[in-house]
Structure 1
Amino acid sequence: MSEHSAQWYRDQTNQLIQSLSKNDQQYFEDLQLYLVTKKAFSRDELAIQKSLYTMAQDLVDASKDGISASSFFGKKPKKMADEMLTQMPKISLRERFELIGIVVGISWLYLFLSGGNGRDDQAMILNPWKYLGVAFIEGICLALILWIVNFYTVSTTHRSWKRFSAGILMALVFAGGAAAWIWLEEIPSQFGIKILYPWDVGLIVLITILGALYFWVKMPSEFRLIALVTVVMGIGVILQRLAYAGVVVYTKMGRVIFAVAVVMTIVILVVWNIYIVRKKESS
Protein backbone atom coordinates (compact mmCIF):
# COMPACT_ATOMS: atom_id res chain seq x y z
CA MET A 1 0.00 0.00 0.00
CA SER A 2 1.50 3.34 -1.07
CA GLU A 3 1.96 6.05 1.51
CA HIS A 4 -0.08 9.22 1.24
CA SER A 5 1.63 12.47 0.30
CA ALA A 6 2.23 15.43 2.60
CA GLN A 7 -0.45 17.34 0.67
CA TRP A 8 -3.00 14.58 1.38
CA TYR A 9 -2.32 14.72 5.12
CA ARG A 10 -2.49 18.52 5.03
CA ASP A 11 -5.88 18.48 3.29
CA GLN A 12 -7.27 15.83 5.64
CA THR A 13 -6.05 17.77 8.68
CA ASN A 14 -7.66 20.98 7.45
CA GLN A 15 -10.95 19.15 6.97
CA LEU A 16 -10.81 17.62 10.44
CA ILE A 17 -10.29 20.88 12.30
CA GLN A 18 -13.33 22.44 10.61
CA SER A 19 -15.47 20.64 13.19
CA LEU A 20 -13.67 22.33 16.12
CA SER A 21 -14.78 25.46 17.90
CA LYS A 22 -13.38 28.78 16.68
CA ASN A 23 -10.89 29.06 19.55
CA ASP A 24 -9.71 25.46 19.22
CA GLN A 25 -9.41 25.80 15.46
CA GLN A 26 -7.32 28.96 15.84
CA TYR A 27 -5.14 27.25 18.46
CA PHE A 28 -4.48 24.29 16.17
CA GLU A 29 -3.85 26.44 13.09
CA ASP A 30 -1.22 28.41 15.02
CA LEU A 31 0.39 25.17 16.16
CA GLN A 32 0.24 23.85 12.60
CA LEU A 33 1.86 26.98 11.20
CA TYR A 34 4.62 26.89 13.80
CA LEU A 35 5.49 23.24 13.20
CA VAL A 36 5.58 23.65 9.42
CA THR A 37 7.67 26.84 9.36
CA LYS A 38 10.00 26.46 12.36
CA LYS A 39 12.27 23.95 10.61
CA ALA A 40 10.99 24.48 7.08
CA PHE A 41 14.33 23.67 5.44
CA SER A 42 15.62 20.97 7.76
CA ARG A 43 12.78 18.63 8.81
CA ASP A 44 10.82 16.12 6.74
CA GLU A 45 7.49 17.69 5.78
CA LEU A 46 5.72 14.35 5.37
CA ALA A 47 6.56 13.32 8.94
CA ILE A 48 5.33 16.68 10.25
CA GLN A 49 2.05 16.50 8.31
CA LYS A 50 1.43 12.91 9.47
CA SER A 51 1.95 13.98 13.09
CA LEU A 52 -0.39 16.95 12.65
CA TYR A 53 -3.03 14.67 11.13
CA THR A 54 -2.84 12.33 14.14
CA MET A 55 -2.96 15.29 16.54
CA ALA A 56 -6.02 16.68 14.77
CA GLN A 57 -7.80 13.32 15.06
CA ASP A 58 -7.00 13.15 18.78
CA LEU A 59 -8.16 16.73 19.34
CA VAL A 60 -11.44 16.16 17.49
CA ASP A 61 -12.09 13.10 19.68
CA ALA A 62 -11.22 15.06 22.82
CA SER A 63 -13.46 17.97 21.82
CA LYS A 64 -16.43 15.59 21.75
CA ASP A 65 -15.85 15.12 25.48
CA GLY A 66 -15.76 18.88 26.04
CA ILE A 67 -11.94 19.14 26.27
CA SER A 68 -10.47 22.30 24.74
CA ALA A 69 -7.28 22.45 22.69
CA SER A 70 -5.40 24.37 25.39
CA SER A 71 -6.40 21.77 27.98
CA PHE A 72 -5.50 18.88 25.68
CA PHE A 73 -2.15 20.17 24.38
CA GLY A 74 -1.28 22.47 27.27
CA LYS A 75 -0.90 26.18 27.89
CA LYS A 76 2.59 26.22 26.38
CA PRO A 77 2.21 24.62 22.94
CA LYS A 78 5.49 26.15 21.72
CA LYS A 79 7.50 24.00 24.12
CA MET A 80 5.61 20.89 23.05
CA ALA A 81 6.08 21.76 19.36
CA ASP A 82 9.83 22.29 19.82
CA GLU A 83 10.13 18.89 21.50
CA MET A 84 8.22 17.30 18.62
CA LEU A 85 10.51 18.89 16.05
CA THR A 86 13.63 17.48 17.72
CA GLN A 87 12.18 14.01 17.11
CA MET A 88 11.26 14.61 13.46
CA PRO A 89 13.58 13.08 10.84
CA LYS A 90 15.96 15.51 9.17
CA ILE A 91 16.08 15.90 5.42
CA SER A 92 19.36 15.40 3.58
CA LEU A 93 21.63 18.24 2.53
CA ARG A 94 20.67 17.57 -1.08
CA GLU A 95 16.97 17.95 -0.25
CA ARG A 96 17.69 21.22 1.56
CA PHE A 97 19.45 22.61 -1.48
CA GLU A 98 16.55 21.45 -3.65
CA LEU A 99 14.03 23.33 -1.47
CA ILE A 100 16.14 26.48 -1.49
CA GLY A 101 16.71 26.06 -5.22
CA ILE A 102 12.97 25.89 -5.87
CA VAL A 103 12.32 29.13 -3.96
CA VAL A 104 15.18 31.00 -5.62
CA GLY A 105 14.54 29.42 -9.02
CA ILE A 106 10.92 30.59 -9.11
CA SER A 107 12.06 34.13 -8.31
CA TRP A 108 14.67 33.98 -11.05
CA LEU A 109 12.07 32.67 -13.49
CA TYR A 110 9.74 35.60 -12.91
CA LEU A 111 12.62 38.07 -12.84
CA PHE A 112 13.56 36.74 -16.26
CA LEU A 113 10.00 36.88 -17.62
CA SER A 114 8.98 40.19 -16.05
CA GLY A 115 11.58 42.38 -17.71
CA GLY A 116 14.22 41.98 -15.01
CA ASN A 117 16.95 41.80 -17.65
CA GLY A 118 18.56 44.73 -19.36
CA ARG A 119 17.48 45.09 -22.98
CA ASP A 120 18.51 47.15 -25.96
CA ASP A 121 17.79 47.04 -29.68
CA GLN A 122 20.51 44.49 -30.36
CA ALA A 123 20.46 42.08 -27.44
CA MET A 124 18.89 40.82 -24.24
CA ILE A 125 21.28 41.42 -21.35
CA LEU A 126 21.51 38.89 -18.51
CA ASN A 127 22.97 40.55 -15.43
CA PRO A 128 24.29 37.85 -13.04
CA TRP A 129 24.74 40.41 -10.24
CA LYS A 130 21.04 41.18 -10.35
CA TYR A 131 20.12 37.50 -10.04
CA LEU A 132 22.56 37.00 -7.15
CA GLY A 133 21.15 40.12 -5.50
CA VAL A 134 17.58 38.79 -5.80
CA ALA A 135 18.62 35.49 -4.19
CA PHE A 136 20.37 37.34 -1.35
CA ILE A 137 17.44 39.71 -0.70
CA GLU A 138 14.93 36.87 -0.90
CA GLY A 139 16.95 34.79 1.57
CA ILE A 140 17.01 37.64 4.10
CA CYS A 141 13.30 38.40 3.68
CA LEU A 142 12.34 34.72 3.97
CA ALA A 143 14.44 34.27 7.11
CA LEU A 144 12.86 37.36 8.69
CA ILE A 145 9.32 36.28 7.80
CA LEU A 146 9.85 32.79 9.21
CA TRP A 147 11.29 34.32 12.38
CA ILE A 148 8.26 36.61 12.75
CA VAL A 149 5.86 33.71 12.18
CA ASN A 150 7.66 31.51 14.70
CA PHE A 151 7.91 34.27 17.30
CA TYR A 152 4.31 35.46 17.17
CA THR A 153 2.39 32.20 16.63
CA VAL A 154 1.60 29.50 19.17
CA SER A 155 0.57 31.99 21.82
CA THR A 156 -2.35 31.73 24.22
CA THR A 157 -2.11 35.32 25.50
CA HIS A 158 -2.55 38.68 23.72
CA ARG A 159 -3.17 36.80 20.48
CA SER A 160 -4.88 39.68 18.63
CA TRP A 161 -2.17 42.18 19.50
CA LYS A 162 0.59 39.79 18.51
CA ARG A 163 -1.07 39.06 15.17
CA PHE A 164 -1.40 42.79 14.50
CA SER A 165 2.24 43.51 15.35
CA ALA A 166 3.35 40.50 13.26
CA GLY A 167 1.40 41.90 10.30
CA ILE A 168 3.12 45.29 10.70
CA LEU A 169 6.56 43.68 10.83
CA MET A 170 5.84 41.56 7.75
CA ALA A 171 4.66 44.66 5.88
CA LEU A 172 7.96 46.35 6.76
CA VAL A 173 9.90 43.31 5.52
CA PHE A 174 8.00 43.31 2.22
CA ALA A 175 8.52 47.07 1.86
CA GLY A 176 12.24 46.66 2.50
CA GLY A 177 12.45 43.82 0.01
CA ALA A 178 10.62 45.88 -2.62
CA ALA A 179 12.96 48.84 -2.04
CA ALA A 180 15.98 46.55 -2.40
CA TRP A 181 14.50 45.09 -5.59
CA ILE A 182 14.10 48.60 -7.03
CA TRP A 183 17.69 49.37 -6.08
CA LEU A 184 18.82 46.31 -8.06
CA GLU A 185 17.36 47.91 -11.17
CA GLU A 186 20.10 50.53 -10.92
CA ILE A 187 22.87 47.98 -11.47
CA PRO A 188 24.56 49.04 -14.76
CA SER A 189 23.77 46.76 -17.70
CA GLN A 190 27.41 46.74 -18.83
CA PHE A 191 28.04 44.10 -16.17
CA GLY A 192 25.67 41.75 -17.98
CA ILE A 193 25.97 39.08 -20.66
CA LYS A 194 24.55 40.03 -24.05
CA ILE A 195 22.44 37.47 -25.93
CA LEU A 196 21.76 38.47 -29.52
CA TYR A 197 18.66 37.79 -31.62
CA PRO A 198 17.48 35.10 -32.38
CA TRP A 199 19.24 33.30 -29.52
CA ASP A 200 17.48 35.53 -26.99
CA VAL A 201 14.06 34.46 -28.27
CA GLY A 202 15.11 30.81 -28.26
CA LEU A 203 16.26 31.12 -24.64
CA ILE A 204 13.00 32.78 -23.61
CA VAL A 205 10.96 30.04 -25.31
CA LEU A 206 13.01 27.34 -23.56
CA ILE A 207 12.76 28.95 -20.10
CA THR A 208 9.02 29.55 -20.54
CA ILE A 209 8.34 25.93 -21.52
CA LEU A 210 10.45 24.52 -18.67
CA GLY A 211 8.85 26.87 -16.13
CA ALA A 212 5.31 26.09 -17.28
CA LEU A 213 5.99 22.33 -17.25
CA TYR A 214 7.40 22.55 -13.73
CA PHE A 215 4.30 24.30 -12.36
CA TRP A 216 1.94 21.95 -14.19
CA VAL A 217 3.68 18.69 -13.25
CA LYS A 218 5.27 19.36 -9.86
CA MET A 219 2.92 21.78 -8.11
CA PRO A 220 -0.33 20.88 -6.26
CA SER A 221 -3.52 21.25 -8.27
CA GLU A 222 -4.36 24.70 -6.86
CA PHE A 223 -1.09 26.08 -8.26
CA ARG A 224 -1.10 24.43 -11.65
CA LEU A 225 -2.62 27.35 -13.50
CA ILE A 226 0.45 29.40 -12.59
CA ALA A 227 1.81 27.58 -15.63
CA LEU A 228 -0.64 29.67 -17.69
CA VAL A 229 0.69 32.87 -16.09
CA THR A 230 4.21 31.75 -16.99
CA VAL A 231 3.23 31.18 -20.62
CA VAL A 232 1.51 34.58 -20.90
CA MET A 233 4.51 36.36 -19.39
CA GLY A 234 6.82 34.46 -21.72
CA ILE A 235 4.77 35.48 -24.76
CA GLY A 236 4.97 39.10 -23.63
CA VAL A 237 8.77 39.01 -23.41
CA ILE A 238 9.00 37.22 -26.78
CA LEU A 239 6.86 39.92 -28.42
CA GLN A 240 9.11 42.60 -26.93
CA ARG A 241 12.23 40.94 -28.30
CA LEU A 242 10.64 40.43 -31.73
CA ALA A 243 9.65 44.11 -31.72
CA TYR A 244 13.21 45.14 -30.85
CA ALA A 245 14.45 42.96 -33.71
CA GLY A 246 11.96 44.56 -36.11
CA VAL A 247 10.17 41.27 -36.82
CA VAL A 248 6.82 42.49 -35.46
CA VAL A 249 5.37 45.90 -34.69
CA TYR A 250 4.45 46.08 -31.01
CA THR A 251 1.87 48.89 -31.13
CA LYS A 252 0.07 50.61 -28.28
CA MET A 253 -3.01 48.54 -29.05
CA GLY A 254 -0.89 45.41 -28.87
CA ARG A 255 0.27 46.41 -25.39
CA VAL A 256 -3.34 46.98 -24.33
CA ILE A 257 -4.40 43.58 -25.65
CA PHE A 258 -1.51 41.93 -23.85
CA ALA A 259 -2.39 43.74 -20.59
CA VAL A 260 -5.99 42.52 -20.92
CA ALA A 261 -4.68 38.98 -21.47
CA VAL A 262 -2.63 39.23 -18.28
CA VAL A 263 -5.64 40.45 -16.27
CA MET A 264 -7.81 37.66 -17.68
CA THR A 265 -5.14 35.13 -16.77
CA ILE A 266 -5.09 36.38 -13.17
CA VAL A 267 -8.90 36.22 -13.01
CA ILE A 268 -8.85 32.64 -14.32
CA LEU A 269 -6.21 31.77 -11.73
CA VAL A 270 -8.31 33.20 -8.89
CA VAL A 271 -11.48 31.42 -10.09
CA TRP A 272 -9.53 28.17 -10.41
CA ASN A 273 -8.25 28.41 -6.85
CA ILE A 274 -11.76 29.12 -5.52
CA TYR A 275 -13.00 26.05 -7.41
CA ILE A 276 -10.22 23.84 -6.00
CA VAL A 277 -10.84 25.04 -2.43
CA ARG A 278 -14.60 24.42 -2.66
CA LYS A 279 -14.01 21.03 -4.26
CA LYS A 280 -11.75 20.01 -1.38
CA GLU A 281 -14.25 21.28 1.20
CA SER A 282 -17.08 19.30 -0.37
CA SER A 283 -15.07 16.07 -0.68
Structure 2
Amino acid sequence: MNIKKMITQNNQLREKLTNENKVYYENLLLYLRFEGIMRDEEKIEAFLLEVLQDILLAQQDGISAKSYFGKEPKVIADDFLVTLPRSLWEGIKLFLLVLVSYAGSSILPSLTTTGKPIDIGIMLITSIYAFIVIMASFKYLASTIYKLTVFIKHKVIRLLVLWVVLMVILAPVLLINFWVHTPFKINVNGVLGIVIIMVLWLIGLFFYLRIADKKFWTPFVFVAFVFGVMGIAARLPHLATFINVKSGRYVYAGLMIFTMVIFYLISYLTIRKMKKETNEH
Protein backbone atom coordinates (compact mmCIF):
# COMPACT_ATOMS: atom_id res chain seq x y z
CA MET A 1 0.00 0.00 0.00
CA ASN A 2 1.42 3.41 -0.97
CA ILE A 3 1.68 6.40 1.36
CA LYS A 4 -1.33 8.23 -0.08
CA LYS A 5 -3.62 5.22 0.45
CA MET A 6 -2.31 4.66 3.99
CA ILE A 7 -2.97 8.30 4.94
CA THR A 8 -6.48 8.15 3.44
CA GLN A 9 -7.26 4.92 5.32
CA ASN A 10 -5.81 6.41 8.51
CA ASN A 11 -8.07 9.48 8.22
CA GLN A 12 -11.13 7.27 7.73
CA LEU A 13 -10.37 4.86 10.60
CA ARG A 14 -9.60 7.67 13.07
CA GLU A 15 -13.26 8.73 12.93
CA LYS A 16 -14.16 5.44 14.69
CA LEU A 17 -12.08 6.23 17.79
CA THR A 18 -13.62 7.29 21.08
CA ASN A 19 -12.73 10.81 22.26
CA GLU A 20 -10.19 9.48 24.78
CA ASN A 21 -8.52 7.18 22.27
CA LYS A 22 -8.58 9.88 19.60
CA VAL A 23 -6.60 12.28 21.81
CA TYR A 24 -4.11 9.51 22.67
CA TYR A 25 -3.64 8.45 19.05
CA GLU A 26 -3.55 11.88 17.43
CA ASN A 27 -0.85 13.03 19.85
CA LEU A 28 1.15 9.97 18.79
CA LEU A 29 0.47 10.70 15.12
CA LEU A 30 1.54 14.36 15.30
CA TYR A 31 4.63 13.58 17.33
CA LEU A 32 5.75 10.85 14.92
CA ARG A 33 5.16 12.93 11.80
CA PHE A 34 7.01 15.95 13.21
CA GLU A 35 9.85 14.04 14.85
CA GLY A 36 10.02 11.61 11.91
CA ILE A 37 11.12 14.24 9.42
CA MET A 38 14.01 12.99 7.24
CA ARG A 39 13.06 9.41 8.10
CA ASP A 40 11.33 6.82 5.91
CA GLU A 41 7.80 8.25 5.54
CA GLU A 42 6.33 4.98 4.26
CA LYS A 43 7.50 3.05 7.33
CA ILE A 44 6.16 5.77 9.66
CA GLU A 45 2.72 5.74 8.01
CA ALA A 46 2.65 1.92 8.04
CA PHE A 47 3.47 1.92 11.78
CA LEU A 48 0.81 4.58 12.50
CA LEU A 49 -1.81 2.55 10.64
CA GLU A 50 -0.82 -0.63 12.50
CA VAL A 51 -1.10 1.13 15.88
CA LEU A 52 -4.48 2.58 14.92
CA GLN A 53 -5.83 -0.85 13.95
CA ASP A 54 -4.59 -2.28 17.29
CA ILE A 55 -6.36 0.52 19.19
CA LEU A 56 -9.62 -0.11 17.30
CA LEU A 57 -9.47 -3.84 18.10
CA ALA A 58 -8.86 -3.10 21.79
CA GLN A 59 -11.64 -0.49 21.73
CA GLN A 60 -14.11 -3.18 20.61
CA ASP A 61 -13.30 -5.06 23.82
CA GLY A 62 -13.81 -1.92 25.91
CA ILE A 63 -10.07 -1.38 26.52
CA SER A 64 -8.63 2.13 26.18
CA ALA A 65 -5.48 2.78 24.16
CA LYS A 66 -3.56 3.81 27.28
CA SER A 67 -4.50 0.59 29.07
CA TYR A 68 -3.78 -1.53 26.01
CA PHE A 69 -0.26 -0.20 25.46
CA GLY A 70 0.48 0.51 29.12
CA LYS A 71 2.65 3.51 28.30
CA GLU A 72 2.46 7.09 27.06
CA PRO A 73 2.32 7.60 23.26
CA LYS A 74 5.63 9.52 23.28
CA VAL A 75 7.41 6.46 24.68
CA ILE A 76 5.92 4.25 21.96
CA ALA A 77 6.97 6.75 19.29
CA ASP A 78 10.52 7.12 20.64
CA ASP A 79 10.96 3.33 20.82
CA PHE A 80 9.94 3.08 17.17
CA LEU A 81 12.08 6.01 15.98
CA VAL A 82 15.18 4.41 17.50
CA THR A 83 14.82 1.67 14.88
CA LEU A 84 14.40 4.21 12.07
CA PRO A 85 17.55 6.34 11.55
CA ARG A 86 17.42 9.61 9.64
CA SER A 87 18.01 9.29 5.92
CA LEU A 88 20.17 11.62 3.84
CA TRP A 89 17.99 10.87 0.80
CA GLU A 90 14.83 11.91 2.70
CA GLY A 91 16.58 15.17 3.60
CA ILE A 92 17.55 15.76 -0.04
CA LYS A 93 13.94 15.11 -1.16
CA LEU A 94 12.63 17.57 1.43
CA PHE A 95 15.13 20.24 0.35
CA LEU A 96 14.21 19.74 -3.32
CA LEU A 97 10.53 20.07 -2.40
CA VAL A 98 11.27 23.34 -0.57
CA LEU A 99 13.35 24.57 -3.53
CA VAL A 100 10.64 23.74 -6.10
CA SER A 101 7.90 25.25 -3.91
CA TYR A 102 9.83 28.48 -3.39
CA ALA A 103 10.83 28.64 -7.04
CA GLY A 104 7.24 28.23 -8.14
CA SER A 105 5.92 30.86 -5.71
CA SER A 106 8.62 33.41 -6.56
CA ILE A 107 9.34 32.80 -10.25
CA LEU A 108 5.78 32.81 -11.60
CA PRO A 109 4.89 36.28 -10.23
CA SER A 110 8.18 37.68 -11.58
CA LEU A 111 7.47 36.11 -14.98
CA THR A 112 4.23 38.06 -15.37
CA THR A 113 6.31 40.87 -16.89
CA THR A 114 9.65 41.19 -18.69
CA GLY A 115 12.89 43.10 -18.22
CA LYS A 116 14.02 41.76 -14.83
CA PRO A 117 16.39 38.75 -14.65
CA ILE A 118 15.88 35.98 -12.10
CA ASP A 119 18.59 35.65 -9.46
CA ILE A 120 19.12 31.89 -9.06
CA GLY A 121 21.66 32.47 -6.27
CA ILE A 122 19.15 34.30 -4.08
CA MET A 123 16.61 31.55 -4.72
CA LEU A 124 19.08 28.91 -3.53
CA ILE A 125 20.09 30.91 -0.41
CA THR A 126 16.44 31.51 0.51
CA SER A 127 15.59 27.84 0.00
CA ILE A 128 18.42 26.79 2.34
CA TYR A 129 17.09 29.23 4.96
CA ALA A 130 13.52 27.91 4.49
CA PHE A 131 14.77 24.32 4.83
CA ILE A 132 16.50 25.15 8.13
CA VAL A 133 13.35 26.91 9.41
CA ILE A 134 11.17 23.91 8.50
CA MET A 135 13.52 21.48 10.25
CA ALA A 136 13.66 23.66 13.39
CA SER A 137 9.87 24.19 13.35
CA PHE A 138 9.14 20.46 13.11
CA LYS A 139 11.59 19.74 15.92
CA TYR A 140 10.01 22.43 18.10
CA LEU A 141 6.44 21.29 17.37
CA ALA A 142 7.35 17.70 18.22
CA SER A 143 8.85 18.79 21.55
CA THR A 144 5.73 20.82 22.54
CA ILE A 145 2.97 18.30 21.74
CA TYR A 146 3.11 16.81 25.25
CA LYS A 147 3.73 20.12 27.05
CA LEU A 148 1.10 22.57 28.27
CA THR A 149 1.44 26.14 27.00
CA VAL A 150 -0.92 27.82 29.45
CA PHE A 151 0.32 31.34 28.84
CA ILE A 152 -0.98 31.38 25.25
CA LYS A 153 -4.41 29.81 25.81
CA HIS A 154 -6.15 33.13 25.19
CA LYS A 155 -7.12 33.35 21.50
CA VAL A 156 -6.02 36.98 20.95
CA ILE A 157 -2.64 36.42 22.62
CA ARG A 158 -2.17 33.22 20.62
CA LEU A 159 -2.82 35.05 17.35
CA LEU A 160 -0.49 37.89 18.38
CA VAL A 161 2.29 35.44 19.24
CA LEU A 162 1.74 33.64 15.91
CA TRP A 163 1.92 36.95 14.01
CA VAL A 164 5.17 37.95 15.74
CA VAL A 165 6.71 34.53 15.07
CA LEU A 166 5.75 34.71 11.38
CA MET A 167 7.23 38.20 11.06
CA VAL A 168 10.50 37.05 12.66
CA ILE A 169 10.65 34.05 10.29
CA LEU A 170 9.80 36.05 7.15
CA ALA A 171 12.09 39.01 7.91
CA PRO A 172 15.31 37.26 6.78
CA VAL A 173 13.61 36.24 3.49
CA LEU A 174 12.76 39.87 2.75
CA LEU A 175 16.22 41.05 3.80
CA ILE A 176 17.93 38.43 1.60
CA ASN A 177 15.87 39.47 -1.43
CA PHE A 178 16.44 43.18 -0.72
CA TRP A 179 20.15 43.25 0.18
CA VAL A 180 21.74 40.18 -1.39
CA HIS A 181 22.69 40.03 -5.07
CA THR A 182 24.55 37.21 -6.78
CA PRO A 183 26.08 36.89 -10.27
CA PHE A 184 23.96 33.79 -10.98
CA LYS A 185 21.19 35.51 -12.92
CA ILE A 186 19.29 34.44 -16.02
CA ASN A 187 17.39 36.64 -18.42
CA VAL A 188 13.88 35.26 -18.91
CA ASN A 189 12.69 37.48 -21.74
CA GLY A 190 11.36 36.03 -25.00
CA VAL A 191 11.10 32.33 -25.75
CA LEU A 192 13.13 31.21 -22.69
CA GLY A 193 10.58 32.80 -20.37
CA ILE A 194 7.70 31.01 -22.13
CA VAL A 195 9.56 27.68 -21.90
CA ILE A 196 10.16 28.19 -18.15
CA ILE A 197 6.46 28.97 -17.61
CA MET A 198 5.43 25.82 -19.48
CA VAL A 199 7.91 23.71 -17.47
CA LEU A 200 6.61 25.17 -14.18
CA TRP A 201 3.05 24.42 -15.28
CA LEU A 202 3.97 20.80 -16.03
CA ILE A 203 5.77 20.38 -12.69
CA GLY A 204 2.82 21.93 -10.86
CA LEU A 205 0.35 19.70 -12.73
CA PHE A 206 2.41 16.62 -11.86
CA PHE A 207 2.31 17.38 -8.12
CA TYR A 208 -1.35 18.51 -8.25
CA LEU A 209 -2.47 15.22 -9.83
CA ARG A 210 -0.65 13.27 -7.10
CA ILE A 211 -2.52 15.03 -4.27
CA ALA A 212 -5.41 13.04 -2.79
CA ASP A 213 -7.51 16.04 -1.70
CA LYS A 214 -7.22 18.74 -4.35
CA LYS A 215 -9.76 21.21 -2.94
CA PHE A 216 -7.27 23.12 -0.77
CA TRP A 217 -4.89 23.68 -3.71
CA THR A 218 -7.50 24.80 -6.27
CA PRO A 219 -7.09 28.57 -5.55
CA PHE A 220 -3.32 28.30 -6.02
CA VAL A 221 -3.79 26.45 -9.32
CA PHE A 222 -5.97 29.33 -10.55
CA VAL A 223 -3.32 31.92 -9.62
CA ALA A 224 -0.53 29.87 -11.23
CA PHE A 225 -2.58 29.57 -14.43
CA VAL A 226 -3.38 33.31 -14.65
CA PHE A 227 0.20 34.36 -13.82
CA GLY A 228 1.45 31.95 -16.49
CA VAL A 229 -0.94 33.33 -19.11
CA MET A 230 0.12 36.89 -18.21
CA GLY A 231 3.78 35.88 -18.52
CA ILE A 232 3.29 34.31 -21.93
CA ALA A 233 1.25 37.30 -23.15
CA ALA A 234 4.00 39.68 -21.97
CA ARG A 235 6.43 37.84 -24.27
CA LEU A 236 4.28 37.85 -27.38
CA PRO A 237 4.97 40.86 -29.66
CA HIS A 238 1.31 41.77 -30.32
CA LEU A 239 0.27 41.56 -26.64
CA ALA A 240 3.37 42.77 -24.81
CA THR A 241 2.39 46.47 -25.03
CA PHE A 242 -0.97 45.89 -23.33
CA ILE A 243 0.34 43.87 -20.37
CA ASN A 244 3.80 45.36 -19.84
CA VAL A 245 4.30 46.74 -16.32
CA LYS A 246 5.42 50.08 -17.84
CA SER A 247 3.40 50.78 -20.99
CA GLY A 248 0.40 48.71 -19.93
CA ARG A 249 0.60 49.26 -16.20
CA TYR A 250 -3.15 49.85 -15.75
CA VAL A 251 -4.08 46.60 -17.49
CA TYR A 252 -1.32 44.81 -15.56
CA ALA A 253 -2.49 46.23 -12.21
CA GLY A 254 -6.12 45.42 -13.05
CA LEU A 255 -5.27 41.80 -13.87
CA MET A 256 -3.26 41.41 -10.65
CA ILE A 257 -6.12 42.83 -8.54
CA PHE A 258 -8.66 40.66 -10.38
CA THR A 259 -6.52 37.55 -9.80
CA MET A 260 -6.14 38.24 -6.08
CA VAL A 261 -9.87 38.92 -5.63
CA ILE A 262 -10.80 35.67 -7.37
CA PHE A 263 -8.11 33.84 -5.38
CA TYR A 264 -9.56 34.99 -2.05
CA LEU A 265 -13.11 34.24 -3.22
CA ILE A 266 -12.22 30.69 -4.28
CA SER A 267 -10.25 30.22 -1.02
CA TYR A 268 -13.25 31.37 1.03
CA LEU A 269 -15.66 29.05 -0.80
CA THR A 270 -13.21 26.15 -0.56
CA ILE A 271 -12.71 26.57 3.20
CA ARG A 272 -16.49 26.82 3.69
CA LYS A 273 -17.00 23.61 1.74
CA MET A 274 -14.26 21.80 3.70
CA LYS A 275 -15.79 22.93 7.03
CA LYS A 276 -19.24 21.77 5.91
CA GLU A 277 -17.89 18.35 4.95
CA THR A 278 -16.09 18.09 8.31
CA ASN A 279 -19.27 18.94 10.23
CA GLU A 280 -21.28 16.37 8.25
CA HIS A 281 -18.85 13.66 9.31
Report the secondary structure of 1:211's partner residue: helix
State the one-letter code of the partner of 2:223. V
Question: Partners of 1:186 and 1:62 in 2: how far apart?
Answer: 57
More moved, 66-75 vs 167-176:
167-176
Matches within 5 A, 1:32-43: 32-42=29-39
Question: Partners of 2:20 and 2:162 in 1: how far apart?
Answer: 24
Q: Which residue of 2 aligns with 1:181?
A: 173
Question: Partners of 1:67 and 1:169 in 2: how far apart?
Answer: 40
Question: Partners of 2:86 and 2:180 in 1: how far apart?
Answer: 42
> Does residue 130 of structure 2 align to residue 138 of structure 1?
yes
State the one-letter code of the partner of 1:175. M
Question: Partners of 2:5 and 2:250 in 1: how far apart?
Answer: 47
More moved, 126-135 vs 250-259:
250-259
Counterpart among 250, 257, 260 of residue 252 in structure 1: 250
Q: Which residue of 2 aligns with 1:106?
A: 101
Q: Which residue of 2 aligns with 1:76?
A: 72
Measured at CA, do residues 106 and 45 of structure 1 come closer, stay the same or move farther in structure 2, by a change above 3 Å?
same
After TM superposition, give the deviation of residue 233 of structure 1 in Å.
Answer: 2.8
Question: Partners of 2:86 and 2:135 in 1: how far apart?
Answer: 19
Counterpart among 48, 64, 70 of residue 44 in structure 2: 48
In structure 2, list runs of 5 or more residues that go unmatched: none
Q: Which residue of 2 aligns with 1:261?
A: 259
Counterpart among 27, 30, 44 of residue 30 in structure 1: 27
Q: Which residue of 2 aligns with 1:218?
A: 210
Question: Partners of 2:222 and 2:80 in 1: how far apart?
Answer: 39
Measured at CA, do residues 104 and 161 of structure 1 come closer, stay the same or move farther in structure 2, by a change above 3 Å?
farther
Measured at CA, do residues 23 and 87 of structure 1 come closer, stay the same or move farther in structure 2, by a change above 3 Å?
same
Contact 1:113 1:234 survives alignment (8 Å): yes
Q: Which residue of 2 aligns with 1:127?
A: 119
The TM-score with structure 1 as length reference comes to 0.76
Q: Which residue of 1 aligns with 2:83?
A: 87
Question: Partners of 1:136 and 1:79 in 2: how far apart?
Answer: 32
Question: Partners of 1:196 and 1:254 in 2: how far apart?
Answer: 18
Q: Which residue of 1 aligns with 2:150?
A: 161
Question: Partners of 1:177 and 1:32 in 2: how far apart?
Answer: 26
> Does residue 192 of structure 2 align to residue 205 of structure 1?
no
After TM superposition, give the deviation of residue 274 of structure 1 in Å.
Answer: 6.4
State the one-letter code of the partner of 2:167. A
> Does residue 56 of structure 2 align to residue 60 of structure 1?
yes
Question: Partners of 2:180 and 2:6 in 1: how far apart?
Answer: 48
> Does residue 52 of structure 2 align to residue 19 of structure 1?
no
Measured at CA, do residues 78 and 163 of structure 1 come closer, stay the same or move farther in structure 2, by a change above 3 Å?
farther
Counterpart among 136, 148, 159 of residue 140 in structure 2: 148
After TM superposition, give the deviation of residue 55 of structure 1 in Å.
Answer: 1.3
Measured at CA, do residues 247 and 190 of structure 1 come closer, stay the same or move farther in structure 2, by a change above 3 Å?
farther
Measured at CA, do residues 12 and 273 of structure 1 come closer, stay the same or move farther in structure 2, by a change above 3 Å?
farther
Measured at CA, do residues 181 and 240 of structure 1 come closer, stay the same or move farther in structure 2, by a change above 3 Å?
farther
Counterpart among 92, 96, 107 of residue 97 in structure 1: 92
> Pairwise CA RMSD of aligned residues?
3.7
State the one-letter code of the partner of 2:135. A
Superposed CA deviations along residues 242-264 of structure 1, whole A, max 9, x for unmatched, are 69x95324342552344223332
State the one-letter code of the partner of 2:225. V
Measured at CA, do residues 94 and 188 of structure 1 come closer, stay the same or move farther in structure 2, by a change above 3 Å?
closer
Measured at CA, do residues 103 and 248 of structure 1 come closer, stay the same or move farther in structure 2, by a change above 3 Å?
same
Measured at CA, do residues 97 and 270 of structure 1 come closer, stay the same or move farther in structure 2, by a change above 3 Å?
farther
Measured at CA, do residues 190 and 60 of structure 1 come closer, stay the same or move farther in structure 2, by a change above 3 Å?
closer
Q: Which residue of 2 aligns with 1:234?
A: 228
Report the secondary structure of 1:247's partner residue: helix
